Amino acid sequence: MKLLAKNDSLCIGCGECEEACSKTYFKEVNQEKSCIRIKDKTINVCTQCGECIDVCSVAAISRDKNGIVRINKKICVGCFMCVGFCPELAMKMHGDLLEPFKCVACGQCSKVCPTHAIYISEEA
């Protein structure tokens, strides 16, 4: 299963990953629109555990063939139950957006991380 793995002890809190993420998905530098968040050198990001899949009443969340948990924005009704029920607090909401957003392990952030604190893991 593919996911963005992390090693908190290597994090220096530089915020490069947050910038890369929000630029990739929202074309702006905005920590509040990053799927990965750094606070006190602790990395908060989706583990692809999939608990949100069963919480969604409209079945807008599913796991793709690579094991990534994805939101179908077309079906999503913006209830944000998945945000409140995420055990990792890694499902995000922003007031500009009608749907929640989350890490899909694209790896863009890991490319800019200077300490390799985050990396794409494809372990079973």
**Min separation Cβ 86 and other proteins, Å:** 9
**Min separation Cβ 99 and other proteins, Å:** 8
Pick from 120, 71, 77, 107: nearest CA to 91: 71
**Min separation Cβ 100 and other proteins, Å:** 9
- Point out which residues bind other proteins (CB under 8 A): 54-59, 77-81, 83-85, 93, 95, 98-99
**Residue among 17 and 52 whose Cβ is closer to other proteins:** 52
Measure the CA–CA gap between 123 and 46, rounded to whole angstroms: 16
**Residue among 28 and 96 whose Cβ is closer to other proteins:** 96
> Exposed/middle/buried for 96, CB within 10 Å: 0-12, 13-18, 19+?
exposed
Percent helix, strand and coil across the chain, each to the nearest 5: 25, 20, 55
SS3 74: coil
**Min separation Cβ 109 and other proteins, Å:** 24
**Residue among 83 and 120 whose Cβ is closer to other proteins:** 83
**Residue among 49 and 77 whose Cβ is closer to other proteins:** 77
